[in-house]
Amino acid sequence: MDRPLSSNNVREDDPDEIQTLGPTTPSSTERDMDTPAAGLPLATRSAADLEAQQTPAASLPDPSSYPGRPAGLHPLAIPPLSLGQKLYIILPQMIGAAILDGAANFGIGCAMYLNAKNVRIWILKNNTVAGDMAVTIFIQGVLTFCIASGMVHVDLRKNKISAFQYPWPDTSWGAAKRLPPDEAQTRIGRLWRQFHNGQGFSRGLHFFSGSDVNDIFDSRLSRSQFTTRLCWSIWKGSVLSLIFFFLIWPISIAIVTPIWVDENLGNGNFTAPLIKAVYGFVYGLLMNPVCAMIAMGSEDSVRAHREERQRERFQNPEKDAMKTTAAERVAVVEPTRALNPSGHEAGPAMAQISNHTPQRVESLRRSLDTIGLRNQPTGTVEFEDAQGPRGPGHAGLGWRSADVHRRRSLDTARRTSRGRYANPSGDLNRSTSVGSARAKPQPDTFGLFGPSGQLTAPHDNNHRHSSHSNISGRMRTLSEHSAQH
């Protein structure tokens, strides 16, 4: 079990442990465990105890605070992507954008270098290719960030693509375990440790986090709002282009210079336009998907996507099938024995629990008006619905929601003018309200019914303690419960 780290037992053997910068407040139990002398008078406390109380507690591991993001994940780790998101990033935002960037750079290169007489790699006055590659980094980078971020926000707003599960890059990521700046051997190492302890990396990630500020293609914006968003997008695109400049430009110059450093690339030579085209293609292949993922992982896009999914769940609820217990099932008669008019030749017909579609208690209240009671020679009471909507012996009306059953039960109560089991004529072979059941020649041998047709308890003491009296007691309880409702 992990225990809170005190000031005296900081684990130095785990350099990869991620911790927060601020001290945490220990609970009362932890405070009592760490300071056993807290309840003693001040005069009796030792100097070590007082010093331990004044020392701030060590920080605990800092998992990501955003819901859904695994703890300890790298802030630049890409969230799990669906197939549609992968295709959207790879095809239009990566390959398609790279082809457009390469074609645009090739056209600009043809206009710049084909009619020039002297084109060199490093000489500035002779249309230097190295300088053109440096300028292309910033111009193409700013345009890519503004256009790609704006178009992705349009697709997100029109639900053509879904946002990430959590923001990218992770702006809630805290700095790792703090490093003492005084222990650094060099000045650069000391500056790096100060930058590291001050969460400089996390603040830098927050600068590049996307937001609705990059949505410049919203037609509902006013002129001032459009200008503000455009300026913010240009500023972020410039900083991102500066990062790509230190990554791409030195490598490109290291490849181009040894090959064409002494050659003249002018006078109708297509070498310089092709260099510019390949350079723009590779740059677009790397930068455009980053801009798209920044927009798809922006905090406002993730928040709006989650709110939309939650709203769809509330608007289109999917009710799960309700479980049926054994007490809610209906005892039915087998069809072959229900058709036997005598009831003696078929043998003892015991009540069976239906294994077919179950019937709710609410639907049972509505269908009891059409149910006839039949006394078998063995004394069991069986149900039979001869005029039900699905034929005799059917177990129920199928899966229904609770609202439908409640509404049907109320409608039946309004239509019924008298008690559910009232039978003024005393004829057990007549139903009380909706329909009539078929003839029941068996007499009431067990005294389940009174003169008015109501279910009553038997007067025989021996019979009262039998299993048949339990059945009549259950039927009487059901009758009283239904009459109350």
- The answer to whether residues 431 and 386 touch, using CB atoms and an 8 Å cutoff, is no
What is the pairing mode between strands 372-375 and 352-353?
Answer: unpaired
Three-class DSSP category at 120: coil
Q: How far is the C-alpha of 9 from the C-alpha of 5, rounded, in Å?
A: 6
Three-class DSSP category at 32: helix
pLDDT exceeds 60 at position 98: yes
What was the pLDDT predicted at 357?
43
Better pLDDT: 307 or 11: 307
Q: How far is the C-alpha of 295 from the C-alpha of 305, rounded, in Å?
A: 13
What was the pLDDT predicted at 319?
53
**pTM of the prediction?**
0.51
* Mean pLDDT confidence for 110-115: 90
C-alpha torsion angle, residues 91, 92, 97, 99 (rounded to 10): 50
DSSP state, 361?
H
What was the pLDDT predicted at 188?
84
Q: Which of 480, 482, 460 is nearest to 469 (CA)?
A: 460
Confidence of residue 146 (pLDDT cuts 50, 70, 90): very high
Joined together, the tokens standing for residue 337 give 């024995």
What was the pLDDT predicted at 277?
96
Which tens digit of pLDDT belongs to each residue from 222-242?
A: 999 999 999 999 999 999 999
Q: What is the 3-state secondary structure (H, E, C) of 339-350?
A: CCCCCCCCCCCC
The helix (run of H) or strand (run of E) holding residue 233 is: helix 223-260
* Mean pLDDT confidence for 338-365: 49
pLDDT exceeds 80 at position 376: no
pLDDT exceeds 80 at position 309: no
- Classify the phi-psi angles of 38: left when phi > 0, otherwise alpha if psi is within -120 to 50, otherwise beta: alpha
- Specify the amino acid at residue 16: D
Three-class DSSP category at 18: strand
At how many degrees (to 10) do helices 223-260 and 129-157 cross?
A: 140
Q: How far is the C-alpha of 432 from the C-alpha of 423, rounded, in Å?
A: 6
What was the pLDDT predicted at 365?
62
Q: How far is the C-alpha of 413 from the C-alpha of 147, rounded, in Å?
A: 66
Joined together, the tokens standing for residue 155 give 């697709």
Confidence of residue 75 (pLDDT cuts 50, 70, 90): confident
Residue 403's alpha-carbon distances to 43, 318, 319, 322, 360, in angstroms, are 71, 14, 12, 12, 12
Average pLDDT, the chain: 68
Residue with tokens 């057990």: 428
Q: How far is the C-alpha of 78 from the C-alpha of 66, rounded, in Å?
A: 15
What was the pLDDT predicted at 290?
93
Q: How far is the C-alpha of 234 from the C-alpha of 229, rounded, in Å?
A: 9
What is the pairing mode between strands 372-375 and 381-384?
Answer: antiparallel
Furthest CA-CA distance within the chain: 125
Q: What phi and psi, each to the nearest 5 degrees, are found at residue 169?
A: -70, 160
Cα 386 to chain centroid distance, Å, stands at 50
Q: Poorest-confidence range of 65-74, 126-135, 163-172?
A: 65-74
Number of C-beta neighbours around residue 62 at 10 A: 21
pLDDT exceeds 80 at position 32: no
Q: How far is the C-alpha of 458 from the C-alpha of 277, rounded, in Å?
A: 101
Joined together, the tokens standing for residue 369 give 């008006």
Q: How far is the C-alpha of 257 from the C-alpha of 354, rounded, in Å?
A: 87
- The answer to whether residues 108 and 198 touch, using CB atoms and an 8 Å cutoff, is no
Which tens digit of pLDDT belongs to each residue from 251-276?
A: 999 999 999 888 888 888 899 999 99
User: What is the rounded radius of gyration, in angstroms, for the C-alpha atoms of the chain?
Assistant: 41
Confidence of residue 186 (pLDDT cuts 50, 70, 90): confident
Which tens digit of pLDDT belongs to each residue from 396-429?
A: 444 445 556 666 666 776 666 444 444 444 444 4
Confidence of residue 481 (pLDDT cuts 50, 70, 90): low
Residues listed for the chain: 485
Better pLDDT: 135 or 331: 135
Q: How far is the C-alpha of 419 from the C-alpha of 277, rounded, in Å?
A: 91
pLDDT exceeds 70 at position 281: yes
pLDDT exceeds 90 at position 285: yes
Sequence-ordered list of residues with C-beta below 8 angstroms from that of 185, at least 6 positions apart, any chain: none
Q: How far is the C-alpha of 201 from the C-alpha of 211, rounded, in Å?
A: 19
pLDDT exceeds 50 at position 198: yes
Sequence-ordered list of residues with C-beta below 8 angstroms from that of 94, at least 6 positions apart, any chain: 285, 288, 289
DSSP state, 326?
G
Q: Poorest-confidence range of 72-86, 193-207, 218-232, 300-314?
A: 193-207
What was the pLDDT predicted at 262?
85
pLDDT exceeds 70 at position 306: yes
Q: Which of 273, 247, 244, 243 is nearest to 260 (CA)?
A: 273
What are the strands, taking DSSP E only, across 102-183? Answer: none
Sequence-ordered list of residues with C-beta below 8 angstroms from that of 114, at least 6 positions apart, any chain: 268, 269, 270, 273
Which tens digit of pLDDT belongs to each residue from 10-21?
A: 344 443 333 333
Better pLDDT: 174 or 249: 249
Sequence-ordered list of residues with C-beta below 8 angstroms from that of 260, at least 6 positions apart, any chain: 121, 129, 271, 275
Q: What phi and psi, each to the nearest 5 degrees, are found at residue 455?
A: -70, 130
Q: Which of 389, 383, 332, 324 is nearest to 359 (CA)?
A: 324
